[in-house]
């Protein structure tokens, strides 16, 4: 039985996440003091996730690196006001959200993105031990494009929630902090998004 004044130990995964956040906060506090090396390390650690998220939100890599660069410029310019009141990634992706939403509202139409470009920006991919046949490559590319297009058809908040949950494996609480929503509201948002995605992708699911 656990004594009243003690708490269960963190799981290995939770401990690792806490350590990563402590590292990020420590680096950001150094950035706040003007440490350029700490800033460059933060960029190196997080630029892949930011670029990948921006690319998924905008439908391709054509402007993802430019938007990601703007995100980190804003991180540097905002460093003097930084306070570690939340996870560093929550703060970082809130900045990302603002810039991406501004960009999606600026656009009058969706850009056309090649399959090769979509494959380039897709993250958290796991390579198969067996090389797929050309037919499997075509089917995989077609399905991946269909998924990306379906995600693009979602309203922007639903789209970002799906991207953060699916590709960044972000917990509901952190997604809520990024979007300024409660956990139940995030779950409801994701339920609606998944329902729409399932309807859009039904013909692939039926195969």
180 in a structural domain: yes
* Integer CA distances (angstroms), 122 to 28, 118, 204, in order: 27, 6, 19
pLDDT band per the 50, 70, 90 thresholds, residue 207: low
The residue behind tokens 């902090």 is 177
pLDDT band per the 50, 70, 90 thresholds, residue 162: very high
117 in a structural domain: yes
What DSSP assignment string belongs to the chain?
---TT--PPPPHHHHHHHHHHHHHHHHHHHHHTT-HHHHHHHHHHHHHHHHHHHHHHHTSSTTHHHHHHHHHHHHHHHGGG---SS-HHHHHHHHHHHHHHHHHHH-SSPPP--HHHHHHH--S----SSPPPHHHHHHHHHHHHHHHHHHHTS-HHHHHHHHHHHTS---HHHHHHHHT--HHHHHHHHHHHHHHHHHHTHHHHT-
3 in a structural domain: no
What's the average model confidence in pLDDT over 7-11?
62
4 in a structural domain: no
197 in a structural domain: yes
- Cα–Cα nearest to 39, from 9, 74, 64, 65: 74
Please check whether residue 76 is in contact with residue 28, taking contact to mean a CB–CB distance below 8 angstroms. Answer: no
Gap between the Cα atoms of 185 and 140, Å rounded: 33
CATH number at residue 145: 1.10.1740.10
pLDDT at 129 over 70: no
Q: How many domains does the chain have?
A: 1
- Cα–Cα nearest to 166, from 206, 154, 84: 154
pLDDT of residue 83: 93
At 85, give phi and psi (nearest 5°). -90, -15
What's the average model confidence in pLDDT over 76-100?
95
pLDDT at 127 over 80: no
**16-63 pLDDT per residue, tens:** 989 999 999 999 999 999 999 999 999 999 999 999 999 999 887 778
168 in a structural domain: yes
Whether this prediction's pTM lies above 0.85 is answered by no
11 in a structural domain: no
pLDDT of residue 63: 84
Q: Which residue has the higher pLDDT, 136 or 109?
A: 136
Give the structural domain span for 147.
16-205
Question: Which range has the worst mean pLDDT, 45-54, 128-137, 165-174?
Answer: 128-137
5 in a structural domain: no
At 87, give phi and psi (nearest 5°). -60, 145
């Amino acid at each position: 039985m656990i004594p009243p004044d003690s708490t269960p130990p963190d799981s290995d995964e939770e401990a690792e996440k806490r350590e990563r956040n402590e590292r990020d906060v420590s680096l950001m506090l150094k950035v706040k003091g003007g440490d350029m090396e700490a800033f460059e390390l933060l960029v190196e650690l997080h630029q892949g996730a930011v670029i990948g998220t921006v690319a998924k939100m905008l439908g391709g890599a054509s402007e993802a690196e430019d938007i990601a660069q703007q995100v980190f410029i804003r991180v540097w310019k905002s460093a003097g006001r930084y306070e570690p009141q939340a996870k560093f990634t929550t703060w970082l992706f809130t900045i990302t959200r603002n810039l991406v939403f501004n960009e999606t509202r600026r656009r009058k139409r969706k850009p056309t993105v090649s399959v090769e470009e979509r494959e380039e920006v897709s993250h958290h991919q796991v390579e198969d031990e067996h090389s797929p046949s050309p037919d499997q490559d075509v089917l995989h590319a077609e399905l991946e494009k269909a998924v990306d297009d379906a995600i693009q058809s979602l309203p922007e908040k639903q789209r970002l929630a799906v991207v953060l949950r699916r590709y960044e494996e972000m917990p509901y609480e952190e997604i809520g902090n990024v979007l300024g929503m409660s956990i139940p509201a995030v779950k409801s948002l994701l339920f609606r998004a998944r329902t729409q995605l399932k309807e859009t992708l039904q013909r692939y699911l039926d195969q």
